[in-house]
Structures are given as structure tokens and as C-alpha cells.
Amino acid sequence: MLRLVNQILDFRKIENRKMKLLLERTDVIILLERVMDNFRLIAEEKHIDFRLHSQTDNISGWIDQDKFEKVMFNLISNAFKYTPDHKSIAVWVSVKDETLVLSVKDEGIGIDLKKQQSLFQRFETLVRYNILQPSSGIGLSLVRELVELHQGSIEVNSQPDVGSEFLVTLPLSHRAYEGKENTEFIVNDSLSTEQQEAAEACPDTCTEVDDQEKELVSVLIVEDNSELRTFLYDILSETYKVIEATNGQEGLQQAVQYMPDFVISDIMMPMMDGLDMVKAIKCNRDICHIPIILLSAKSSLDDRISGLEQGIDDYVTKPFSSTYLKARIKSLLNQRKQLQELYLKQWSERKLGHSIPVVPIEPPQPEIVCFDELFMQQVMEVMEKQMDNSELTVDRFAQELAMGRTVFYQKLKAIIGLSPVDFIREMRIKRAKQLMESGEYNVSSVAYMTGFNDPKYFSKCFKKQFGMSPSEYGKERKQND
């Protein structure tokens, strides 16, 4: 009864286009043997010769394990239902041109030719051939739906009183699912690392980013399992610039050298594990801002807490959906963008709110300040000092901070979302607005006080920012006052 209810629910999902394929790299032989184990006892009771025939001991491909089991269980169950005692049932499996070919062949009562034509229609049964074996008439119909959902096919060859053969073909490669809806790829590194074959790319139809994001966003993948690392590269490389590392030590070196926009790392790795790498990254002032996602089969609460205490941004447990991982990355990047805007606003208001620095009478109390906060304090101090310097360059700015140009550029962009050139212009325009609000300076004076050599260019930048020229802004302020 439970199987019947589940089959009806599956039909409803298929009809409403809500049935989703969860494709996973699977050893088909092992999965077939697991299904066949359910019938060993009845085979012994009925003295049926029940065997699996395969050309190889290992066949690997992308399939939905649950739906594959339902297909094979139904076909084998029907074979036992209509095969007399002391006969044989054979399951054959082979591969042809990246296609899995499955055959369930029995020496049963067979099926009339006219009946074969409607066999896969819903509520069609062979009950009149065997009244002792009740049937709902939806098993084979569901089998066909599930096979076609896998982009496969099913056919039957049968002769009455001789036997029947159900032939199923399924694609093993990911390419059969390109552009298909309701398809997810479940990533797991449980396959033996001796099987170091190149993992195949998997498409994703759910996550899109604009062209600008494709050019700018880079990801560092740190994973010692080469198959999983290649798989991650394939699913992310169409959207992001991907850098690879095989262990935590190499990952740390790559993070320092390339300063990626975010890091995806395994935990259990040789030489340096993921948590130690995270700790080293968060202690490095140049790269401590980089968001990190950890992947691990360790899913206990203590492991999650340990990762979060090290400063990671997200924790994804294996096995996981590639669509889910992409969604988490996109969400994380969106959160970073919002934080950048908030951080820029807070620092702009904090420093530029005081055109005349206030010198405290007493030295401040010592504080523990994170690297990013300290970095922004130093940036704003340099900006304040160089506000009227029209010769200020990015190289000079970086020198004032005792940093390399590339590190300065990438770190500032990661924290506030602006390049150094855009940041300097933003700060100068905001200072110009403050000076115009005071009503004490004309347009030319404000331009020179904020590092603009050309008042016309200053007016153009001001209008672009606030929608009106400096003189118009000044007049409006006077009218409001």
C-alpha cells in the first residue's frame, strides 16, 4: 500500500512538473546489486535462477539513485510476478557510446503483441494473465515517466509462453541534461580517489550573474580530492574566474598571491587542513577580508561551531546540490555588496563629518581593532591629509599605507566596493558638498580645496553625483535656509 501511495504521489509531481532529478555520480553496478538483493529470498523460494550479467565490474555515471532504484525495482518485481517456479530472470548491463543499456529478461508467461502496444499506459495491467498477483496498473507507466525524465527510453520485446525482455537506455554523461529544468547535481567526494578521472561539467539553470560580475569575481577552490575539485571548477568556471589549490598550505599561498573575491575549501586535507588555513587567512591583514565557505562531510554541531569561530562565512555539508552551492555563493556576494555600501557610508560620515580634526586632550584608551577597521582608519587619514592634493595617485596612496598597489586596490575594492580612483573621487565630491553647504566658498575655491585642477571638470563630477551643478546646489541651499 505504501508503494502504491508513493507511486501516485510521484505521478502527481510529474504531472505538475515538480519532479526534480537529483543527479549523483554513481557506481551503477553497486546500485543494481543493492536493488537485486531485495529479491534474493523470493528467488530461492521459487527456485528461480536470478543473476546479474555485466561486461565490467564498474560503471560510473550521473543518475538519480532513488528514481533509478524505482525503475529497476518495478521491472524486476514484474518479472518475478509473472515468472513461474524453476525458471530464470537475468539482468544485463552494458555501456555503448556513453549510454547505459539495461535489460531485465525473464522466462515468464510473456505478453500478447496487442497488449504490448498499451503496456506503458496508466492503469494498464496484465492481471488477467495472473489473477493471483494483483496490480495497480501504474508501475510500468511510472517507469516510463522516470526513464524519460532521465532523457532515456524503454521498450519491451515479448512472446507469449516464452518470456519478456524490458530494455532501458539511460545517458551516463551530464551533457544529456544541458538546459533541462528541475535538474540538480549532488556533489560528494565519497568516490575513491583512485578513480582520478576528470569530472564532467554540470550545467546549472538557476543562477545567473551579469557580465560585470563575470569579469570581476574570482574564487579560490581548495580541495585535495581531484575529482571533486575538477567538478567544482566545471560548475563555477562559466560564472567566475577559478583558482585551484590541492591543500590548505597551497590555498593560503594562492590567497596571498591572487587575493580572490571568495574561497571555497574542504576541511580534511593533508599538510594544512581547512580550519588552519582559515585561521591563517584571518590573521593576515592583506587578505583577512576574503569571505570563506567550508565544505565538509563532518556535520556535527561542534564542527560547525568550530568553523564559525574561525571566521568562516558559511558551512555547506557534503553531499550538497550544485544549485544550492551556487545560490549560497550568490547570496554571500549580495550580502558583501550590501556591507560594502554600508561600510562606505559609515566611514564617509564618520570622517568627513569633521572638516577640522578634533585633537583629544588625553590619549585614547587602547583598543583591539580588527585588520579591516584599522585599514580603513589609515585610508581615511591619508585621504584627509591628501584631500587638496591634485597630484595624488593610486601609487602614492598605496605608498602612504606601506602597501603594494595591487594589494591596496583589491583590499579597498573588497571592503567598500570602490576602486581607489572611484573612492578618491567619491570622498572629494562629498567634501565639496560639505564646503558648498557652508556658503563660505565659491565653486572654484571648493574645486581647488578638494584636489580638482579644473573647476569645469569638478562641476561635471558634482552634477553627476548630485544631479545639479555646484552653483545650483549653493543657490538651492540658500533658498532653503
CATH number of the domain that 278 lies in?
Answer: 3.40.50.2300
Is residue 219 within 8 Å of 260, Cβ to Cβ?
A: yes
238 shares its domain with 316: yes
Contacts of 453 (CB under 8 A, 6+ apart): 390, 447
Residue that is last in its domain, among 310, 336, 362: 336
301 shares its domain with 406: no
Is residue 74 within 8 Å of 39, Cβ to Cβ?
A: no
Model pLDDT, residue 100: 94
Model pLDDT, residue 169: 94
198 shares its domain with 146: no
Residue that is last in its domain, among 128, 148, 176: 176
Divide the 481 residues of the chain into consecutive groups of 10 and give the mean pLDDT of each group.
Answer: 51 60 87 91 93 90 88 91 93 92 93 77 52 51 87 91 92 80 68 36 37 63 88 86 92 90 89 89 85 76 67 79 83 79 68 45 43 82 87 86 83 82 87 84 87 86 86 79 63
151 shares its domain with 268: no
| Residue 42: inside a domain | yes
CA 373 to chain centre: 30
- Torsion (CA) 451, 455, 460, 466 in degrees, nearest 10: 70
Which H or E element spans position 34?
helix 28-36
| Residue 360: inside a domain | no
436 shares its domain with 471: yes
143 shares its domain with 213: no
134 shares its domain with 266: no
DSSP secondary structure of 303-368: HHHHHHHTT-SEEEESSEEHHHHHHHHHHHHHHHHHHHHHHHHHHHHHHHT-SSPPPPSSPPPP--
Three-state SS at 63:
strand
| Residue 401: inside a domain | yes
| Residue 27: inside a domain | yes
| Residue 127: inside a domain | yes
How many domains in the chain? 3
Model pLDDT, residue 202: 38
292, β-bridge pairs = 263
Model pLDDT, residue 394: 85
161 shares its domain with 288: no
171 shares its domain with 28: yes
212 shares its domain with 309: yes
Which spans in 353-418 are helix H?
371-385, 394-400, 405-416
Residue that is last in its domain, among 119, 147, 176: 176
First to last CA, the chain: 81
Domain limits for position 67 = 2-176
User: Which residue bears the cell 528541475?
Assistant: 182
| Residue 346: inside a domain | no
Alpha-carbon gap, residue 119 to 97, rounded angstroms: 28
Model pLDDT, residue 195: 36
160 shares its domain with 22: yes
Can you give the CATH number for the domain in which 33 is found?
Answer: 3.30.565.10
| Residue 150: inside a domain | yes
168 shares its domain with 123: yes
Model pLDDT, residue 86: 93
Model pLDDT, residue 212: 41
Whole-structure pTM value: 0.50
Strand order in the sheet with 292-296: 241-245, 218-222, 262-266, 292-296, 314-317
Can you give the CATH number for the domain in which 386 is found?
Answer: 1.10.10.60
| Closest among 207, 222, 182 to 332, alpha carbons compared | 207
| Residue 345: inside a domain | no
- Torsion region of 245: left, alpha or beta (phi above 0 gives left; psi -120 to 50 gives alpha): beta
Half-sphere exposure of 307 (CA within 13 A, CB side): 25
- Residue type for position 338: Q
Model pLDDT, residue 10: 57
